[in-house]
Amino acid sequence: MKTLYLLIPFAPLAGAIIAGLFGRAIGRAGAHWVTIAGVLVSLLASLMVLRDVMDGNTFNGPLYTWLTLGEGANVTKLEVGFLIDRLSALMMVVVTFVSLMVHIYTIGYMAEDPGYQRFFSYISLFTFSMLMLVMSNNFLQLFFGWEAVGLVSYLLIGFWFKRPTAIYANLKAFLVNRVGDFGFILGIALVLAHFGTLDYAQVFSQAPAMAGQTIELFNGAPWMLLTVICIGLFIGAMGKSAQFPLHVWLPDSMEGPTPISALIHAATMVTAGIFMVTRMSPLFELSDAALSFVLVIGAITAFFMALIAVIQYDIKRVVAYSTLSQLGYMTMALGASAYSAAMFHLMTHAFFKAVLFLGAGSVIIAMHHEQDMRKMGGLRRYLPITYAVVLIGALANAGFPPFAGFFSKDTIIEALHASQRAGSGIAYAAALAGVFVGALYSFRLVFFAFHGKERFASGGHGDHGHGAQASDAGHDDHAHGAHGGAPHESPAVVTAPLVLLAIPSIAAGWLIGTVVYGNYFGDAVFVAPAHEWIEEMGREFHGVLPMMLHGLTSLPFWLAVAGLATAWYFYILRPELPAVVRAKLSAPVSILENKYGFDTFNQWFFASGAVALGTKLWKIGDVALIDGMMVNGSARLVGWFAGVIRWLQSGYIYHYAFSMIIGVFVLLTLFGMVLAR
Amino acid sequence: MTHHVPWLSLAIWLPIVAGVVVLASGSEKNAREARVIAFIGALAGFLVTLPLFAEFDIGTSAMQFVEDAPWIERYNIRYHLGVDGIAMPFLLLNSFITVLVVLAGWDVIQSRVSQYMASFLIMSGLMNGVFASLDALLFYVFFEATLIPMYIVIGVWGGPNRVYAAVKFFLYTLLGSLLMLVAFLYLYNKAGGSFDILDFHRLPLGMGAQTALFVAFLLSFAVKVPMWPVHTWLPDAHVEAPTGGSAVLAAIMLKLGAYGFVRFSLPILPDASHALSGFMITLSLIAVVYIGLVALVQTDMKKLIAYSSISHMGFVTLGFFIFNAYGVEGALVQMISHGFISAAMFLCVGVMYDRMHSRMIADYGGVANTMPKFAAFMMLFAMANCGLPATSGFVGEFMVIMGAMKFNFWIAFLSATTLIFGAAYTLWMYKRVIFGEVANAEVAALKDINAREFVILGLLAAMVLWIGLHPAPLTDIMHASVNDLLKHVAQSKL
């Protein structure tokens, strides 16, 4: 079995290495075959592992010792190893499945790109890193995977490294993530300092005994140790899972090619934070304060990011903000101790958001790399398959039964309702409001792009809209010579993965009885007896069909319908209205267009501030004070002193004799004083 | 423990003899022969350090490969050599880097080739001498002697402002180390006429004496590390030094100062070390934060990497003065790792400088378009420089942060800011130099790295990844000696 575990991450790694180092030798087809084979092997192995863990088998063991630390009896072994349980097995299947679909899709999407082999190498490397993160049995390897996926994300956002916007976005993404990692590593360091180990199982078993421990961060103000640890770890999650206020990198990451937006920035990497907190549930459960913090951060993200999605014109950015909002839902679920609901939403979201992104990508190909929805419209006649899958994705995203998103989102909302933790009230309100907004932006996208009047000029898209929305609209502009003709449906290599992902976007929700209410996770997730709100809800769960029927009479459903209706009214019935509303509400719209001013503030305060401070420290501290006064100053002092000495060495005997007499006199006086003591 | 083959003496004298041979062979006409002899000498110098690794006994903290012979009998000065788990890795690092530096100067240095190569070989031997000395005066002689070849390298093959930089480098470091000599003489008398470093370790000393000696050592070692605020010679020296000089300076020479702290200050002066640890930690954290910000705004790539070195060396001194195994071992790993990464970064700048004759970030842009292989290598080293896991840069930083957390939350907090600063200055530079559209005609005309450069960068990349993925063999070497050191530091001499 261990060989099988090894195969899962290392098959994609092998593919990545071959495609990366020998890309020229094996050619384009060679590169995609070798990486697809690697990921396929990985998926099949993951499915076998899933079946195995469903039978109750788990594994927790080391691969090799990375480092031993400490002295004498207090030796800490830091190991690289695997923990295979129901939580990791589920993630492994989701990651490898979406990755495989994206690999296949990429054959079509990147067909004309000169960096074809490099791209396949990167996405396979990503798959490896993500799997190492997910399969880890300790904090150290988790951090390895955590940073490795960050690296690949950096490389992929900046894949088209000639574009200034892309290399700005990837640097920004890396640095913002590093801010999160800063908190994360402090959390890990606290764990090591107080638990003496980084092994999950050992840490978790000691955790209850640690619940009463405090540390004094500030004099006289003791903090609960576990609260500090959990908040540190969660700051890491806020970076990776793009939670407010570290969300700023995710929209810009759309500069990367669309397949990675789907794989990394929607389905898998950005959910690493959700997975991590779920994995750490034995720690988080012991700190209500940390979970309340999680709850509030999630609520802010879920609602406010959804609002921005409503006013975006770039089709990818709509989906990006929708991702932020959905990640907020998952985070809220974590905060309400509804880990299984969060993981379930993670899974359904992985499918339907991949569909939306890859569907958007298919539109972008058809539109010859136009991403501005104002230049689309009426596409459903030209792109029937894409239209169908995007519609499914939108329905799932908006939470309509029987689509997957309904089950997961509804469970989260119910859990927030049931939760008695401080902050649940706000979160519940944010979640409900988010449903309306979610349905609105989802169907705005569908209606705006696929229905209504055709706003593209068939036969060549002259200006590409560069001027109008220069700051907002990123364009996938790889070499694409011939424009022209009406939009046409993408080739099978693009649509097949779409269809394969659309199926679970509908059906994955039906697994709710197993995953959420069936105690699927078992021991992998810990919920304190006082927080078993999901279990209470489970008592009222009587199957998928009754849940749907019940859903039809509940508030979230009607909010979603209202959102859909609003979108329909504005974009189908009265398509001239949005412009009017935009003009009337120019103040709030401009707040949204500026994304609440975070980018401006960060640029001004952190980026320019650090540069200004660095310049000051350099020019004043190093150049003026240390070098100017001390170093060169002492050189000048020596020079001056030498000048004085030179003057003393006059060459006249009587000068020397005179100074000698004075010297003798002084010495004798001193000598006398010493003796007198 | 005596050995039949004096490996340490070989490690010291073989490069020096090779250097003298190169020097003797040299004239402008037979540069090729000089290069070949230098390469053979450097390679042989590296090969003789391998037994140190292979035959090292990791179970003991005692000195190994000991050689002991009288040198100046009248003053009981001895030719006493030996290495423990702290010193041994540095001989390998040094000799390894020397091979690369000889290769890196191969086509680049066209004037006074034999003198150039000889300087590096002799310097390599002398620095091995520093790490292997167990006699304080022998240590002092080697420590000071290393200044001469480096002074020559900067002063002769350096940039336009080389004389200022060379003199600044020389005076700064010389003035610092004179006090060390005074300290040695004091200890010599106290020890009843012995310069044996191990005797010093056992010497009882009062608090006043310890403090005075600590300050004397601090001045000499802090300049060399360099610690804030005596660091300003380093950026100037790096900017003016030729590529090879920068690589050796950053990779090895800075380590001499840090090594001094673990060999002298900590075990000889445990009480003063504890008493002044707050001061040392403060200086170290200033190096991490202040220098991190200063590095951000540099416009000259070499200056940026020089400041980055100071910041990384701040982690080393921080690790030493938190007095736990995580910190001390982390600091040692950081020293080794920084040896590879800083050498690699300077060699990368050298690769570009050889082609464009500019170190200014603004003169570059879009290098990835014309030098993709080079861009990939530099990506790896840049990531290692910002401490990405699975590279060696992570290991030391991680261990020191872990150690600092055991010591105090806020020290860990401030030291962990390097995650952000390190990434900011390194990747921002990388972005402006490597990414983007081809910036100008000169960048458009760049040729990707040749086989020689590929080998150099490839070897460094292998080391960076190896230590990052499996640091256990390296730290296993250090365990016994570090634990013994910590035992010494924990015992009060009062």
Whole-number pLDDT of residue B8: 92
Helix (H, G, I), strand (E, B) or coil at B131: helix
Angle at Cα A510 formed by Cα A509 and Cα A512, nearest 5°?
A: 75
- Contact yes or no for B424 and A190 at CB 8 A: no
- Contact yes or no for A67 and B369 at CB 8 A: no
Strands A214-218 and A221-224 come out as antiparallel
Which of 225-244 (B) contact A at CB < 8 A?
Answer: 229, 231-233
Is some CB atom of chain B closer than 8 A to the CB atom of A657?
no
Whether the per-residue pLDDT at A471 is higher than 60: the answer is: no
Mean confidence (pLDDT) of chain A: 86
Which residues in chain B touch residue A70, judged by CB atoms under 8 angstroms apart? 325-326
DSSP B93-108: HHHHHHHHHHHHTTTT
Measured distance CA(A444)–CA(A449) in Å, rounded:
8
Is some CB atom of chain A closer than 8 A to the CB atom of B147?
no
Which of 161-180 (A) contact B at CB < 8 A?
Answer: 161-162, 164, 167, 171, 174-175, 178-179
- Contact yes or no for A143 and B172 at CB 8 A: no
For residues B307-324, one letter each, b for 16 or more C-beta atoms within 10 angstroms of the residue's C-beta and e for the rest, the string is bbbbbbbbbbbbbbbbbb
- Contact yes or no for A162 and B436 at CB 8 A: yes
CA B169 to chain CA centroid, nearest Å: 15
Cβ-based neighbours of B429, under 8 Å, separated by 6 or more: B301, B304, B361, B382
- Contact yes or no for B409 and A190 at CB 8 A: yes
Minimum distance, in Å, between the CA of residue B419 and any CA atom of chain A:
6
pLDDT (mean) for A382-402: 90
The shortest CB-CB distance from B296 to any of A164, A217, A610 is to A610
Q: What is the pLDDT of residues A338-355, one digit of tens each?
A: 899 999 999 999 999 999
The shortest CB-CB distance from B423 to any of A68, A70, A174 is to A174
> In the numeric block, which tokens belong to residue A661?
């007499």
For residues A614-647, one letter each, b for 16 or more C-beta atoms within 10 angstroms of the residue's C-beta and e for the rest, the string is beebbeebbeeebbeeebeeeeeeeeeeeeeeee
pLDDT band at B492 (very low <50, low <70, confident <90, very high): confident
Whether the per-residue pLDDT at A241 is higher than 70: the answer is: yes
pLDDT band at A458 (very low <50, low <70, confident <90, very high): low
Minimum distance, in Å, between the CA of residue B226 and any CA atom of chain A:
13
Q: What is the pLDDT of residues B133-149, one digit of tens each?
A: 999 999 999 998 988 89
Residue type, A118: R
Among the ranges given (A407-411, A588-592, B37-41), the one the predictor scored with the smallest mean pLDDT? A588-592
- Residue scoring higher pLDDT (A459 or B140): B140
pLDDT band at A585 (very low <50, low <70, confident <90, very high): confident
Residue of A nearest to B235 (CA): A622
pTM of the model: 0.89
Whether the per-residue pLDDT at B31 is higher than 90: the answer is: no
- Residue scoring higher pLDDT (A179 or A586): A179
Helix (H) or strand (E) holding A390: helix A384-398
DSSP B392-455: HHHHHHHHHHHHHHHH-HHHHHHHHTHHHHHHHHHHHHHHHHHSSS--SHHHHT-----HHHHH
Whether the per-residue pLDDT at B293 is higher than 50: the answer is: yes
Q: What is the pLDDT of residues B85-129, one digit of tens each?
A: 999 999 999 999 999 999 998 888 888 888 888 899 999 999 999
Number of CB pairs, chain A paired with chain B, less than 8 A apart = 135
For residues B40-68, one letter each, b for 16 or more C-beta atoms within 10 angstroms of the residue's C-beta and e for the rest, the string is ebbbbbbebbeebeeebebeebebbbbbe
Cβ-based neighbours of A505, under 8 Å, separated by 6 or more: A348, A351, A352, A355, A389, A392, A393, A396, A403, A404, A405
Measured distance CA(A178)–CA(B418) in Å, rounded:
10
Whether the per-residue pLDDT at B2 is higher than 70: the answer is: no
Whether the per-residue pLDDT at A69 is higher than 90: the answer is: no
Residue whose entry in the numeric block shows the structure tokens 């020019």: A619
Residue whose entry in the numeric block shows the structure tokens 């509908």: A506
- Contact yes or no for B475 and A611 at CB 8 A: no
Q: What is the pLDDT of residues B41-84, one digit of tens each?
A: 999 999 999 999 998 988 888 889 988 888 888 888 889 999 99
The shortest CB-CB distance from A162 to any of B168, B366, B472 is to B366
Q: What is the pLDDT of residues B149-189, one digit of tens each?
A: 988 888 888 888 888 888 888 887 777 788 888 899 999 98
The shortest CB-CB distance from A66 to any of B233, B293, B470 is to B470
Rg value, chain A, Cα: 31
Whole-number pLDDT of residue A459: 46
Whether the per-residue pLDDT at A529 is higher than 70: the answer is: yes
Minimum distance, in Å, between the CA of residue A251 and any CA atom of chain B:
20
Percent of chain A with pLDDT over 90: 41
The dihedral region occupied by A175, where left means phi > 0, alpha psi between -120 and 50, and beta the remainder, is alpha
Which of 585-644 (A) contact B at CB < 8 A?
Answer: 610-611, 613-615, 617-618, 621-622, 626-627, 630-631
Whether the per-residue pLDDT at B132 is higher than 50: the answer is: yes
Is some CB atom of chain A closer than 8 A to the CB atom of B79?
no
Residue of B nearest to A190 (CA): B405
